[in-house]
Amino acid sequence: MKKAVIGILMACILVTGTVNLPLNVRAADPTSDGHGLMGDFYKCEKNPNDRQDITVFNFDNFRGERAVANLNGDSFTSIFNQLSGTPDYNTARFTGTIVPNYTEDYTFHMVGDDGFRLWINGEKIIDFWQQTWDVPQDSVAISLEAGKHYDIKVEYLQGWGGSWLRMEWESTSQRREVVPESALYLPSDHVLVTKKEDLTAELQKIDYLADNFADEVPASVVNTLQAKKVTAEETLNTIDAQAITDSEKVALLSQAIQNVSVARSNFMKEMGVTSREVFNKFNNPLYQGQDPFVTYHDGYYYFVSSSNLDSNNKVYVSKSRTLTDQGEKVLVFDSLGTQTRIFAPEIFFFNGKWYIYYCADRQDYGYQHMATVLESTTSDPQSPFIDKGAIYAGENGVYKQANDFTVFEHQGQLYAVWGTLGAGEPIGPAIAPMDNPYTISVDRSFLPGGGGEGPRVLQKDGKIFITMSEGDYASNGYRLSYFMNTDGNILNPSSWSRTNDVFVATSEVSGPARAGFVKSADGSEDWMIYHSRVYKDTGRNWWREVNIKKFNWNLDGTPNFGHPVSPNEWQDLPSGDPGQGDMYQAENAVVYGDITSDNTHTNYQGTGYIHLPTTSGAEASFVVQAEEAGDYIVGTRYAYGVQVNGESTNNPTTQLPGRAKVNVYVNGHYVKTISPDKTAISWDEWFTDSQRLNLQQGKNVISYRIDNSSIGNVNLDYLTMYKADVPNVIDTNEVTGKLSGATAVPAGQQFDMTYGLTHVSSRAEDAVYAQDLLINYDGDKIDLESAVSKKEGLVVLGFKKVATGQAHILLASLGAANTVTTDGDLLTLHWKALKGTDNASISISPARIANANGEETLLAPVVFNVQVTGGGAPNSPDVNADGKVSIGDLGILAFSYGLSSSSPNWAQVQKLDLNQDGVIDIVDLAASARAIIQ
């Protein structure tokens, strides 16, 4: 096969050849069905000294147009930057039609930064033309008919600062929500013109493929492509003469465009897979972001982040098999405006559930900045979280503000650490023990001063380190120091010492701090994740980027963080990390339009990179190979180093980073639009954008296009891909706990589970002498009744139910002859199923083991889920079915007292088991008595 040679030859021919698409022809619009609104954008004169003067906000200086999907609170900063050269003092007008689902009276709700006006069918129903932000407005009710198109016009003014707009609707049947893209339609006259241009562009791409690569594919493929061209040309040439509506013409053109796009993809598949290699090294930075935090659990890294715009106060969790990218980001919590400035979230797993901690301005505390905790609704950290409220971080019963909040566990006790905030407050950090993952009931204590923010905890060999970030967070001097505790007396200030300036800026990395700590996938290495400044040559600038590096330990047991890694230095993957999978170099892609290749900037892989221009019609297509059908995490490494006023200067004024806008197609079908964040203006630093894409088995074509609504000027280095939702499988040497047993049991029945250890060392010095287990379970669904040793010489010294759904177990091996030195089962856990449920969760966390020297090892959490079948509504206390509950019913129950599901006549007496727990006991008699007395 000559695929690799063909790939390189294609790149040379397509980039340097003379057959390039005309720059005045626009490629396919991602809103192929015409959904969205058309935005016209205007630049205005500045008047920063008089916010009451709105006469400057007019529609005289037209700068360009962009289609938008809807008005959902996303920022217009990037569009204004590109079209006006500044994010401040602009206006926009959005037009199209809106189609409701119900024939009812509708109310519209709008809010933004700054003012806005709304017309429906020519009637102005909202008028808030002011240079004021975040003031919600409600319309009068307006009657709309289902399925009918109504003209819609929205006008918007932007002074300075934030730049966003949100439009919602509701009716009797329509729940309140952001007006979706599916209900909005672009102006039909605009869409019709655009679609003609789109189809013309697709036809030219067919000619390009046929003229240059017909001899590389079977004749049947060429014939199919040409047949699609003939049909499409006929549609294009006859569309104006057809006696149909503009909307119907748009539909015909859209179908023709898709047919040609798919045919081109099939042709490219036959040209062969783009040459590929394996991703095995990386360099910093990884992506834009601040205050990074990551944890590793059951084969995945989980990253947590927030969006703290006034319009978009949400928390996200990303999942990836590799530490070098974020994978797919999923929304897990939306504050719906009850919280603002959600800063520095962190995620932890305790007692079978996930918890996210952060500080935010909470509405229920007068928008003071309060420590806050979210709790997961399932064992999946990408499932929805619920707000457990503010955490007590004060004294004398008075809740105090907090600045960054973290937690850690030491010897079975959970502690919280946070920075203080507010005039007159003591210098932090503050610290307090926790009753549970969401409660502090005692007053705060303090570490011995020194201040700082963003505490993060690192533990090793009995020593506890709390790193603090100090200095001006927007400056080059932002850096790390740490506190150290060696005697285990956590709340005693004199038990802590402080070491300053342990991780500081270099000539190539500015303001490195806010480090989090995580093990490599196989547990053999220590890594730190930290942010630094994107624009290191500015005085004060708070745009930041995420980096990772391995660190080591000094002989005295203290961490040696070394220096921030230069963006010019390539690093090996963390031990056991599979990386980002197959890698396809961009210089080997099939390219169309005004795309160029280059190698003048640094830090790329392969022989160079390609440049996606701002002109529509450009397209880079990768032919990739998927081993099986399904979802894949596809990453694109890019540089977007354009200069953006207000972002890459001192004291920037924008809330969102400048972003490009590139449309992604799979096998000829539009799937999504990606918005790459800005990288350093040197163009020598690269970020990775990761997206979940569904691929078919075998060859697929992934295309990145600059369409008429795109924002280009992006360099692409390579594409990577790996199968989504496949965890790392690490052959670890670390001791781990395990639970085994039935995964489904009937309600009311007793059942057993087995606890044991795996990967146990056979060395005498590693022998396990003692074990401390905290069993967590859904106490309203199942109950742990007892624990019995399965190993001779291993005794259960303690079994105590410390709370509903929680039991504490202590084990000890009696002498050297009875230690645990091999894998095996150690305990039988006796349970009772209480009531039916699809999922009763059982976990062991924390679990600790100790050797003969008293050295403790914290084991990874163990999780097991059980389905409890049956156990419906309680049986009726009218057991003799005479229409009343009386002493007669109680007598029947008393006679059958003590019978259980194991009794031979259970089928006849089961109805007497009122609570359906598998036994007729005092609980059933009490239920009967209550019914009689009532």
Question: Which residues are 637's β-sheet partners?
Answer: 688, 718
Peptide bond before 285: cis, by omega within 30 degrees of 0? Answer: yes
In angstroms, the CA 82 to CA 373 distance is: 39
H helix runs in 25-99, sequence order: 77-84
Predicted TM-score of the model (pTM) = 0.74
Quick one: which of 34, 66, 38 has its CA closest to 616?
66
What architecture does CATH give domain 281-572?
5 Propeller (2.115)
The answer to whether 116 and 110 are in contact (CB under 8 A) is yes
Burial class (CB in 10 A: 0-12, 13-18, 19+), 902: exposed
Burial class (CB in 10 A: 0-12, 13-18, 19+), 213: buried
In angstroms, the CA 893 to CA 389 distance is: 45
In angstroms, the CA 172 to CA 538 distance is: 53
| Domain boundaries 276-280+581-723, corresponding CATH code | 2.60.120.260
Tell me if residue 419 falls in helix, strand or coil.
strand
pLDDT confidence of residue 37: 94
The answer to whether 102 and 146 are in contact (CB under 8 A) is yes
The answer to whether 330 and 316 are in contact (CB under 8 A) is yes
Residues in the chain: 934
Please, what CATH class does the domain formed by 37-185 belong to?
alpha beta
The answer to whether 512 and 480 are in contact (CB under 8 A) is yes
- pLDDT, tens digit, for every residue of 742-753? 888 888 888 999
What is the number of other CB atoms lying within 10 angstroms of the CB of residue 719?
Answer: 23
Which residue spans within 630-697 are E strands per DSSP? 630-639, 662-666, 669-674, 687-695
What architecture does CATH give domain 887-933?
Orthogonal Bundle (1.10)
276-280+581-723 and 736-869 have identical folds = no
In angstroms, the CA 461 to CA 459 distance is: 7
Strand 744-746 relative to strand 862-869, pairing: parallel
Q: Dig out the tokens for 70 from the structure.
A: 């809807």
Find tokens 């980039």 and name the residue: 15
Q: Assign 3-class secondary structure to 792-809.
A: CCEEEEEEEEEECCEEEE
pLDDT confidence of residue 658: 74
* φ and ψ at residue 763, rounded to 5 degrees: -75, 140
In angstroms, the CA 910 to CA 920 distance is: 8
Q: Which residues contact 580 (CB under 8 A, 6 or more apart)?
A: 279, 322, 324, 325, 633, 635, 688, 720, 721, 722
pLDDT confidence of residue 461: 85
Q: Which residues contact 376 (CB under 8 A, 6 or more apart)?
A: 332, 353, 354, 355, 383, 384, 385
In angstroms, the CA 170 to CA 69 distance is: 19
pLDDT confidence of residue 23: 29
Residue type, position 547, single letter: N
Quick one: which of 722, 680, 605, 611 has its CA closest to 325?
722
Residue 517's H or E segment, with its range, is strand 513-519
The answer to whether 169 and 106 are in contact (CB under 8 A) is yes
Find tokens 């198109």 and name the residue: 149
Question: What Rg value do the Cα atoms of the chain yield, rounded?
Answer: 32
String of DSSP letters for 364-389:
GGTTEEEEEEEEESSS-TTS-EEEEE
What is the number of other CB atoms lying within 10 angstroms of the CB of residue 589?
Answer: 28
String of DSSP letters for 321-364:
SSTTS--EEEEEEE-TTSEEEEEEEEEEEETTEEEEEEEEEEGG
Q: Parse the chain into domains and list their residue ranges.
A: 37-185, 191-270, 276-280+581-723, 281-572, 736-869, 887-933
Domain 736-869, classified CATH 3.30.505.10, yes or no: no
Q: Which residues contact 248 (CB under 8 A, 6 or more apart)?
A: 242
Q: Which residues of the chain have pLDDT under 50?
A: 1-32
